[in-house]
Amino acid sequence: MSEKKPIDIDTVDADMAITLGLLTAVEREGQVTQRSLAGELGIALGLANSYLKRAAHKGWIKVQQVPPNRYAYYVTPQGFHEKARLTAEYLSSSLTFFRRAKTQISEALEEFVAQDRRAVVLIGVSELAEIAALCQLQIDVTLIGIVDPDSSKDSFAGLPVVRRMEDLPAGEAYLITDVKKSQATFDAMIARYGTLRVKAPRLLHIRTDKPAARPESP
């Protein structure tokens, strides 16, 4: 059996991703439990139950009780058709996200270059950090590393990962790649370093209208 990986619901529509993950899990294992499904998809138990009920109601899966007090789930022909449709849509959404993220991250890095700030620190381990590492190959910047106090990784996308800013060489600019607490992270970085040294991709939908505190000296 292949290793289970949680479905990524940060970069695509959550409903589509959960539904696709559910149909994939049922097709692969059949006798999944609501608890195991919730763990695999990274969602609450009650939400997993709701998605199973909806899939059954739409005719995508068939439910059969197997003793003692267990249920087996089967993907129906209609469910296979829906899974194929969702897979195509998922890939399209992922590619659209990648292109949009690459363009916006490249623009931010180019703005740092225009300011002659070429030593850049990424803030947050995520897919955006991976894309930034790819952008670095085409833009005259140096990514020093990634700061993420919540990450257990020591490296990511070929870059060192640290918990504290002080554990990396001093940066000249900072790019927000945190997708979980992006607004709070952005606000904290702006308060510390100022608006000229901190940027974030527009796709994070960060509010930038808050007054910034006086930044630290470079």
Query: 22 near 51, Cβ under 8 Å?
Result: yes
Query: 83 near 27, Cβ under 8 Å?
Result: yes
Checking if the pLDDT of 57 tops 90, the result is yes
> What does the DSSP 8-state code read for residue 165?
G
Percent above pLDDT 90 for the chain:
55
Q: What pLDDT does 30 receive? A: 64
CA distance 145 to 181: 19
198-199 and 159-162 beta bridge pairing: unpaired
The mean per-residue pLDDT over the stretch 75-79 comes to 92
* Distances in whole angstroms, Cα of residue 194 to Cα of each of 126, 173, 188: 23, 10, 10
- Where does the pLDDT of residue 173 fall: very low under 50, low under 70, confident under 90, or very high at 90 and above? very high
Mean pLDDT of the chain: 86
Query: 141 near 109, Cβ under 8 Å?
Result: yes
Query: 145 near 122, Cβ under 8 Å?
Result: yes
> Hey, how many other C-beta atoms are within 10 angstroms of the C-beta on 34?
17
Closest CA to 67 of 38, 29, 30, 31: 31
Query: 52 near 61, Cβ under 8 Å?
Result: yes
Q: Which residue has the higher pLDDT, 90 or 151?
A: 151
- The residues that bridge with 74 in the sheet, in sequence order, are 62
The mean per-residue pLDDT over the stretch 121-139 comes to 95
Domains and CATH numbers, the chain: 14-75 (1.10.10.10), 99-204 (3.40.50.720)
Q: What pLDDT does 103 receive? A: 95
- Where does the pLDDT of residue 7 fall: very low under 50, low under 70, confident under 90, or very high at 90 and above? very low
Q: Helix 77-114 and helix 127-135: axis angle, to 10°?
A: 50
Tokens in use for 117?
């700030």
CA distance 8 to 21: 9
Q: Report pLDDT digits (tens) over 12-48.
A: 467 888 898 899 888 887 677 888 888 888 889 899 8
- Where does the pLDDT of residue 96 fall: very low under 50, low under 70, confident under 90, or very high at 90 and above? confident
Checking if the pLDDT of 76 tops 50, the result is yes
CA distance 189 to 134: 23
Q: What pLDDT does 39 receive? A: 87
- Of 65-69, 105-109, 180-184, which has the strongest mean pLDDT? 105-109
87 burial via Cβ count (<10 Å: 0-12, 13-18, 19+): middle
Q: What pLDDT does 89 receive? A: 81
Q: Cis (ω within 30 of 0) for the bond into 211?
A: no
Checking if the pLDDT of 65 tops 80, the result is no
Tokens in use for 198?
């901190």
